[in-house]
């Protein structure tokens, strides 16, 4: 099998697990957060800077890499690892979420999805077989099944969510049949069902009937409330095989991550640290800061006093960072993104420590942002 989960310890307070995943490109500790390098690049950050944050595994987007530079071109370099100079584990998503997000320019049927390329407007046909072939060429350690990700359950009839669940299972069979490198790349199945718990139960049962190296919870970061996300994850995570990695896709805010870890989830990804970093929003243990706000114009403090990231430890002040954004300097997004990714990795370290020491209840004391429904930015209104 391409990967192996080693469970080192379990919390006595909840379902949290401490472990490590062994892959062809090294080991990563779990619970793990994967920063998103969409088009084989972390926007504004070099691979060495990403490594400095403590990130052990990253995510590439299959659809973006397939359209530009092309999966075949990446394969000529050996893999995305060599192409982007990241010699550590990589996970590729399947393109299913991008098909969902482009609902206004795509058509969906039981065979796959047709949409207009965001590169040149050309028609692109994405099927389970096309997605898996592209992921085989890109060469990630973990690859995802092509699934049908419906909008938030509140926005569509239950029948649309049911259809997506059945279609995702059917496509998973096709993905497994098309997978040409099972010894080198671990294929994960994805459980759908929206916030309908009976559909989640059916989807988990049918998905987990298919023997795979790992399983994911999809379709819970598409517009639901934090409470609905939490309820869905708490219900679904224990339905996935205990001995395999469990991955919650596209989540999220620190509080959402902590809740999911307590439910037994091992892996996470989200664009929030870098997307918000590029827009002058910095995450901290207390909450989020909008660095464009006037209150920071003369603030000599770093983003967070006890943070060991290259931004804070390097002495860059909130005032200087605000200046960079005001002046349109590209260094601003780089420095805040660097801090944000490190903040997320510090959170994962704290979570792993809490599981290892059986001290989960102390987490919220050390990380006040975990007790808020969402990190509410502090500073003057914009």
Contact yes or no for 249/101 (Cβ under 8 A): no
d(CA 228, CA 371): 16
For the chain, give the number of residues. Answer: 382
Contact yes or no for 128/171 (Cβ under 8 A): yes
The pLDDT mean for the chain works out to: 94
d(CA 289, CA 252): 17
Q: Is the pLDDT of residue 345 over 60?
A: yes
Q: Is the pLDDT of residue 281 over 80?
A: yes
pLDDT of residue 9: 98
Residue 36 DSSP label:
B
d(CA 251, CA 218): 10
269 is catalytic: yes
User: What mean pLDDT do residues 147-157 have?
Assistant: 85
pLDDT of residue 151: 83
Percentage of the chain modeled with pLDDT above 70: 95
pLDDT confidence of 382, banded at 50, 70, 90? very low
Residues 184-193: pLDDT tens digits? 999 999 999 9
Q: Is the pLDDT of residue 381 over 50?
A: no
pLDDT of residue 375: 52
What's the predicted TM-score (pTM) here? Answer: 0.95
pLDDT of residue 41: 97
User: What mean pLDDT do residues 167-195 have?
Assistant: 98
Catalytic residue among 141, 147, 256, 269: 269
Residue 280 DSSP label:
T
Contact yes or no for 267/233 (Cβ under 8 A): no
pLDDT of residue 379: 45
d(CA 309, CA 314): 8
Catalytic residue among 93, 141, 147, 266: 93
pLDDT of residue 372: 65
111 is catalytic: no
Contact yes or no for 228/195 (Cβ under 8 A): yes
67 CB contacts (<8 Å, ≥6 apart)? 117, 118, 119, 124
User: What mean pLDDT do residues 291-298 have?
Assistant: 98
Distance of CA 116 to the CA centre of its chain: 25
What residue ranges define each of the domains in the chain, with the CATH number in brackets? 4-270 (3.20.20.105), 277-371 (no CATH)
Element (H, E) at 288: strand 288-290
Contact yes or no for 16/360 (Cβ under 8 A): yes
């Amino acid at each position: 099998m391409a990967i192996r989960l080693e469970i080192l310890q379990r919390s006595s307070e909840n379902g949290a697990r401490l472990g490590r995943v062994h892959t062809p490109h090294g080991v990563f500790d779990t619970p793990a957060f994967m920063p998103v390098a969409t088009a084989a690049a972390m926007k504004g950050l070099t691979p060495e800077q990403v490594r400095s944050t403590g990130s052990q595994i990253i995510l590439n987007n299959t659809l973006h890499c397939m359209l530009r530079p092309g999966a075949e071109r990446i394969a000529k370099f050996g893999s995305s690892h060599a192409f982007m100079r990241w010699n550590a584990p990589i996970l590729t998503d399947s393109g299913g979420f991008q098909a969902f997000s482009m609902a206004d320019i795509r058509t969906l049927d039981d065979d796959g999805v047709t949409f207009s390329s965001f590169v040149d407007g050309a028609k692109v046909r994405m099927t389970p077989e096309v997605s898996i072939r592209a992921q085989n060429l890109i060469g990630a350690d973990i690859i995802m099944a092509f699934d049908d990700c419906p909008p938030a359950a509140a926005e569509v009839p239950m029948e649309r969510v049911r259809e997506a669940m059945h279609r995702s299972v059917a496509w998973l069979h096709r993905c497994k049949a098309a997978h040409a490198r099972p010894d080198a790349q671990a294929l994960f199945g994805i459980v759908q069902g929206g916030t309908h718990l009976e559909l989640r139960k059916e989807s988990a049962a049918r998905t987990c009937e298919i023997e795979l190296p790992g399983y994911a919870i999809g379709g819970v970061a598409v517009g639901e409330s934090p409470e609905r996300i939490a309820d869905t994850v708490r219900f679904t995570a224990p339905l996935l095989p205990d001995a395999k990695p469990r991955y919650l896709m596209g989540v999220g805010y620190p509080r959402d991550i902590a809740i999911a870890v307590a439910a037994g989830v091992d892996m996470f990804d989200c664009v929030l640290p870098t997307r918000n970093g590029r827009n002058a929003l910095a995450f901290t243990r207390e909450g989020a800061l909008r660095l464009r706000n006037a209150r920071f114009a003369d603030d000599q403090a770093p983003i967070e006093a006890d943070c060991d990231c290259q931004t804070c430890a390097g002495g860059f002040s909130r005032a200087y960072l605000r200046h960079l954004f005001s002046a349109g300097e590209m260094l601003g997004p780089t420095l805040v993104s660097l801090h944000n990714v490190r903040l997320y990795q510090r959170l994962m370290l704290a979570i792993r420590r809490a599981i290892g020491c059986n001290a989960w209840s102390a987490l919220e004391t050390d990380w006040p942002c975990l007790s808020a429904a969402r990190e509410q930015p502090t500073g003057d209104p914009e």
